[in-house]
Chains A and B, each alone.
Chain A
Amino acid sequence: MPSSRDQLELLQGTLDMLILKTLLFGPAHGHGIARHIQQTTREVLVVEHGSLYPALHRLERNGWIASRWQTPPGRARELKFYRLTAAGRRQLRTQESRWDALVRAIGRVMQPAPEV
């Protein structure tokens, strides 16, 4: 695990996008989502697990994701699973394009292209 100095705080509002993106690969429960985000970012991004849940519920309330209790293979009990809705896909596309625009814009400021 990287030392806390190398860890990055999540940018405001990006957690929603990460959750939606994660759910693009299929339904998952809260812990699964947390683990996925952590592993894919190689633990650079710190997500306090607790903060995931208000975000999940907010997305659900907005109709971007849906939930149901189901028993995953190899488990005795039901867990709460979330999956992306059609509205959620659209939302993810909007957020992704906005994100790209933001990254490009910031990149141009930080590393300007050499003048011709």
Chain B
Amino acid sequence: MRWPFRTSATPGDDEIRREIADHLELEAEDVARCGAGGNAEAAAAARRRFGNATFVAEDVRAVWRPTWIEQLAQDLRHGVRSLRRSPAYAVTATITLAFGIGASTAVFSLGDHVLDRPFPQLPEDELVWIVQRSPHECPTCDNASPAAFTALEERATTLSAVGAAQLWRASLNGHGDAPSDLVNGYRVTPNLFALAAAPFALGKGFPRDAGTPGRDGVVILSYDYWHGRFNGSRGVLDSTIMLDGAPRRVVGVLAKGLAFPEAVDVYTPLVLTAADANNHSSRYLDIFGHLAAGASVPQAQREAARISLQMASESPKSDAGWVLVPRPLNAFHNDDTVTLVRIFAVAVALVLLAACVSAANLSLARTSARRREMALRAALGGRRGRLARHLLTEALLVSLAGSALGVGFAAWGIHAASGIIPPAMARYSPGLAFVRVDGRALAFTLALCITVTLLFALAPVLRATRVPLSAVLAGGGRGSAGDLHGTRLRAVLVVVEVSVAIIVLSAAALLTRSARNMVNGDPGVRLDRVLTMQVSLPRGTSDSSARDFVSRLDAGFRSVPGVLAAGVVSTTPLSNNWWGTIFSVPGRPPRPNGSPLTANDQRITADYFRAMGIRILSGRGITAGDRADTTAQRVAVINHYMASHVWPNADPLGRTITIDSVPWTIVGVVADVHHGGLDEPLRNEIYRAAAQAPSTAMDLDVWTAGDPGAMRESVRLAVASVDPRAAVGDMMTMREMQARHISPFWLIADVVNTFAIIVVLIAVVGLYGVIAYGVAQRRRELAVRMALGASRRDIVSYVAGGAVRLTTVGVAIGAGGALAFARLLEAVLYGVPAGDPATLAMVAALLVTASVAAALIPCWRAARVHPAQSLSE
């Protein structure tokens, strides 16, 4: 039976080969029949006439090759197979890329949220934060006067709505068995949440008229406070709570995670009376505005500048020189966070650079190692495009695996970061809870890493496939010109890796030393066995009641068992709070620049210095005898810093200073306390008797005989027994306070340390790769050297010397970068000079040691080169 002619069925490889072979055979027969010599010559002639049979077969296959998808699948299969044959390369390259992509995406996503989008739940682009500044008097002020608020509200056309907020501290009175609670709150104009389009978890914003006196008995809770204090009960809505002794109806609970303007517990209406609205001179409001449709921030700024000029001409005494500046909402966060993010950004850019360089290096290494294979395949008829595609597919596979892993790293890193960001920082980065892997960052890093991998895979591919077969095969894999070039390029890349490593490593070392210094450093106050808390009396408490409370507290704590000393102070050191006061020295002209003298205003009880271990340097401390009655002298104790700065050449004892037109006599000088932490400069400090300068808000610091943490309840009870209306909050030990203060510094140190480990590993792996490859390539050379009498020692020092040379060049180049990075770190360094030579030397020594370690295995291999064997290979 005759098979029918078939159409369009893909022929197999065998079929194609057979068809071609048949043709050659028939042609040879023809040639032979014409009598042109022997069979062998005839066959050769046939082959000549036919052309390259391998190419033809490949072209025929190409005709039938179905579609690019199948081709791709084939390439992928091939790539996976060949990667599985060299798992070391696949794993190293994948992990390197994953680190680079993961770290940079995570840090960018975090940084973007902290810097650009602190309030992801609000229409941030439409909102502005308006500061009032004076280039001369207060160039960095953030707050504005109520008069400025009124002026903006009445005159600004670029703003569709203007709202204001004022931070305050209140006590939430106990209900049932629950004790009084000290809460942080914002007083906000009733329209603020509406203008910010703030979402609510429960209820809604304030009624329109909540800003008028008598109608302000309402309160909004933050989500966290609602959960903490009211267990998230929906029944809290419309219930009444007592804040500072006044009843307030709960009208709403803000949505989860929304911390606008900052993370606080409660929000109450801000009541601005007509008198307030006319207040030009005290600037205490945070003002927010909603841009009118079509208005831009620069337009709002121009208009605000015009309004400022009008205000200045209307009331020159208070407003001349002051300018209202609407700023994007993302300006509403503190500078420390910006510095942190900037440091992270530089560190992570370096990690990304190291990862890319390393990926390039690995790509190069892989192609160099496969030059023989490539040359052979090219000679056997492999088309250049096809070979290049194989290698590219391989590189692409590695890139994709690295990218996938990197995305995982990024997601995990962001998750971990929101867990370890200290609360003190999180307060200024309310958007933190909403950080997700940023698409743009991911796209950028992916594109960068993949491009680099492919580029460096491709360049040598083109060269490798162009290298003549004879050169590669005859050279036994040894240095042809192109190969040498590849080795040199790899050496350059390794030098870059080492330079990056030293930059990041030295930054990590500086930050770690600085953080350690801060833990071990002496801030000038007792840190062990001290319990600290905030205490607040209800609003409206008279001066005499406050005075009475403080003296009874002082007396009461002397008899609490386990308490060695307890003192009241306005703000506890390291608490990140301080009260500024302006003072003057009678008979002394104002300073040339016109700025007043300021000091930290501390109102204390007699035992405060003893409780906190603050030494009295001269004169006396505050005593119980410093009373409020008219016969008693108004006295003040100052710190050493103030004594030596205000009276550089004289004894301050017995001199007077004036605060609010009242003279205070200096009776003592005490040792300096780093109130703002060791990282902050010293400031003037004035200690006065709480009896003579009473206040309703204070801190209480208790020095205990045993573990201060165990004293929480008895201390709380002791305060309640003095006055049950006194609210206690933020109770923690001084060590906890210190840890809270230092945690951001540890955070940077930890992150940069992690980065340092990554880049050092990358550098060591890169170095190992280059040295090992060099040894493999130069087996013959080493063998010749050994045959000519070089000892193993010589060989080892020859190979290790190469590693040390590369590292030294890298260290030398990186040192400059390290110094530049250190300058950026200066802002957060304590007790370590930014350009610390000891740190740099230590880090350099570490890297050189690591590089020698990386060279060990190749050295060992080099030493085992057998001259006779290698030369006869």
Binding site for B on A (CB under 8 A): 27, 29-31, 34-35, 48-51, 53-54, 57-58, 60-61, 63, 66-70, 77, 79-81, 83, 85
A89 to B251, CA, bound (A): 88
Contact between chains at B5 and A53 (CB < 8 Å): no
B38-84, CB < 8 A from A:
49-53, 55-56, 59-60, 62-64
B1-47, CB < 8 A from A:
2-8, 11, 15-16, 18-20, 22-23, 26-27, 30
* Closest Cβ neighbor of B18 among chain A residues: A80
Question: What is the CB-to-nearest-CB distance from A52 to chain B, in angstroms, rounded to a whole number?
Answer: 8
Contact between chains at A54 and B7 (CB < 8 Å): no
Q: Among the listed A27, A29, A67, A79, which residue makes an inter-chain contact with B6, where contact means beta carbons less than 8 Å apart?
A: A67
A54 surroundings in chain B (CB, below 8 A)? 56, 59-60, 62-63
A81 to B19, CA, bound (A): 10
* Closest Cβ neighbor of A66 among chain B residues: B5
Contact between chains at A63 and B8 (CB < 8 Å): yes
Contact between chains at B59 and A53 (CB < 8 Å): yes
A80 to B49, CA, bound (A): 20
Residues A70 and B2 in contact in the complex (CB < 8 Å), given A31-B26, A54-B63: yes
A85 to B7, CA, bound (A): 9
Contact between chains at B6 and A68 (CB < 8 Å): yes
A35 surroundings in chain B (CB, below 8 A)? 30
Residues A61 and B64 in contact in the complex (CB < 8 Å), given A49-B49, A85-B7: yes
Question: What is the CB-to-nearest-CB distance from B454 to chain A, in angstroms, rounded to a whole number?
Answer: 30
A57 to B2, CA, bound (A): 22
Question: What is the CB-to-nearest-CB distance from A7 to chain B, in angstroms, rounded to a whole number?
Answer: 12
Residue of A30, A49, A61, A66 with most partner-chain B CB within 10 A = A49
Question: What is the CB-to-nearest-CB distance from A83 to chain B, in angstroms, rounded to a whole number?
Answer: 5
List 15 additional contacts besides A51-B51, A53-B19; criterion CB under 8 Å.
A29-B26, A30-B22, A48-B49, A49-B49, A50-B50, A50-B51, A53-B16, A54-B60, A57-B60, A60-B7, A61-B64, A66-B6, A70-B2, A79-B22, A85-B7
B60 surroundings in chain A (CB, below 8 A)? 53-54, 57
B62 surroundings in chain A (CB, below 8 A)? 54
Residues A49 and B8 in contact in the complex (CB < 8 Å), given A31-B23, A35-B30: no
B6 surroundings in chain A (CB, below 8 A)? 66-68
B52 surroundings in chain A (CB, below 8 A)? 50
Question: What is the CB-to-nearest-CB distance from A88 to chain B, in angstroms, rounded to a whole number?
Answer: 10
Question: What is the CB-to-nearest-CB distance from B217 to chain A, in angstroms, rounded to a whole number?
Answer: 87
B16 surroundings in chain A (CB, below 8 A)? 53
Question: What is the CB-to-nearest-CB distance from A75 to chain B, in angstroms, rounded to a whole number?
Answer: 9
A58 surroundings in chain B (CB, below 8 A)? 63
Q: Among the listed B5, B18, B22, B26, which residue makes an inter-chain contact with A68, where contact means beta carbons less than 8 Å apart?
A: B5
Q: Can you pick out 25 interface pairs between chain A and chain B where the beta carbons lie within 8 Å of each other?
A: A29-B23, A31-B26, A31-B27, A34-B23, A48-B50, A49-B50, A50-B51, A51-B51, A51-B56, A53-B23, A53-B60, A54-B60, A54-B62, A57-B60, A58-B63, A60-B8, A63-B8, A66-B7, A77-B22, A79-B22, A79-B26, A80-B18, A80-B19, A81-B5, A85-B7
Q: Among the listed A68, A79, A80, which residue makes an inter-chain contact with B4, where contact means beta carbons less than 8 Å apart?
A: A68
Contact between chains at B22 and A80 (CB < 8 Å): yes
B4 surroundings in chain A (CB, below 8 A)? 68
A48 to B6, CA, bound (A): 26
* Closest Cβ neighbor of B52 among chain A residues: A50
Question: What is the CB-to-nearest-CB distance from A66 to chain B, in angstroms, rounded to a whole number?
Answer: 4
